[in-house]
Structure 1
Amino acid sequence: MTGPTVVGLHVAKARRLPTRAVESVEAEAGAGLVGDRYHGSRHRHVTVQSAADLAAAVADLGRPVDPGLTRRNVTISDGDIPTKPGTHIRIGEVELEVVRVAAPCRLLDDDLGPGAARALHARAGTVFRLLSSGTIHVGDEVDLHPDRESA
């Protein structure tokens, strides 16, 4: 049985600049994604959303939404992304730890139209800190429960 995979990667050099899709990105433990606006921040290193949650938001909105317009860094194919602080996941070779639930970005209604932030409420993903370094690629497998293996 295959688990979720990375289906999209996005970075933005600054807060109000649009995100750009990339095929891979370097993740630096304790620092973030190289080339992203949050690289060097203390805790907000990576945001992860689920394509399944995005599809549900799109159904509510009634119009298509490119995953990059949500301003999240990583979009995974499916699965319930953990939200409990301290919980770990693994994307490819990179280990991440939940910091908090990601609130919908205030820019969403401007970029996607009225109602976007409301449609993404409770579907906007999770903020993680990077515990290890490595390269994250589109197509990487995602382990949403790596702690189960060691239990």
Structure 2
Amino acid sequence: MRVTAIHIAPGRRLPVKYVDAVTAEAGKGLVGDRYHGARHRHVTLQAQDDLDLAAADLGLDFQPGQTRRNITVDVGPVPTKPGERLRIGDVELEVVRIAAPCRILDDTIAPGAAAALRRRAGTCFRLLTGGEIRVGDEVVPTSVEKAV
């Protein structure tokens, strides 16, 4: 699994901007993004193969940035269980919850987009460590050792 796109938006309802790389700050989020400084929702991640299925259901192609998610990877599955972790470069992320599609997508993509993205809208993560995330970075699921 590899990062294929990164998008940030400076504020709510403001257009997202494609970037080749972004600084991730542990416990804060992606520098320059509207959720930087949020308590738990630091970054959202989606899979292109899920977007392709949603586009087929919708009967309309759309770009990954139109979903307003931060990071797009080439293939899933994207972890969804709270506590699951993955690493992108030096940055470790932990699942907070599944990201629900917003009805705004019906206005920005097409009517029915939110329904087509249901269960395909990605996952919200918190940042456990900081570093740079770049397009092309490998995404690796990691396990958490449980104390016995």
- Name 1:113's counterpart in structure 2: 110
Out of 99, 124, 128, the position equivalent to 1:131 is 128
Contact 2:6 2:70 in 1 (8 A): yes
- Residue identity matched to 2:104: L
Name structure 2 gaps, 5 residues minimum.
none
Secondary structure in 2 aligned to 1:84? coil
Identify which of 64, 71, 74 aligns with 1:74: 71
Aligned twin of 1:39: 36
TM-score, structure 2 length as denominator?
0.96
| 1:60 counterpart (50, 57, 62) | 57
Which structure 1 residue ranges, 5 or more long, are not aligned?
none
Over 2 Å off, 4+ runs: none
1:14-65 superposed Cα distances (whole Å, 9 cap, x missing partner)? 1110101000000000000000000000000000000000000000011111
Aligned length: 146
Identity score, percent: 60
Residues 66-125 of structure 1, C-alpha deviations (whole Å, 9 max, x = no match)? 100000000000021111101101111100000000000221001011000000000000
Structure-1 separation of matches of 2:102 and 2:69: 9
TM-score normalised to the size of structure 1?
0.94
The one-letter code matched in structure 1 to 2:89 is G
